[in-house]
Amino acid sequence: MPTISMFRGIKISINWNDHMPPHFHAKYGDEEVIVSIKDLEVLEGEMQNKQLKMVLGWAAFHQTELLENWELAVKKQDLFSIDPLR
């Protein structure tokens, strides 16, 4: 699963062989969430509140880029990196 961004110990990735709806994975230590790109809602998993707020804020700012990467993943094309949370 290609990593497209990393910040403050959080790893963001999109899987090439994943299912609908468009989503990304965010991992922090042993915790992982799957987040809908369009709705920015957690579909599955749990993460500490502070880190989850960072992930959702970052995703809101980069929603268009996340959707573009999802489309590339569906086509089995290389994904691009997205700027980390600053």
> pTM here?
0.94
What is the pLDDT, as a whole number, of residue 21? 93
Of the candidates 48, 2, 50, the one whose C-alpha atom is nearest the C-alpha of residue 25 is 2
CB atoms under 10 Å from CB of 6, counted, come to 15
**What is residue 52's DSSP assignment?**
H
Mean pLDDT score of the chain = 95
The string of pLDDT tens digits covering residues 5-31 is: 999 999 999 998 878 899 999 999 999
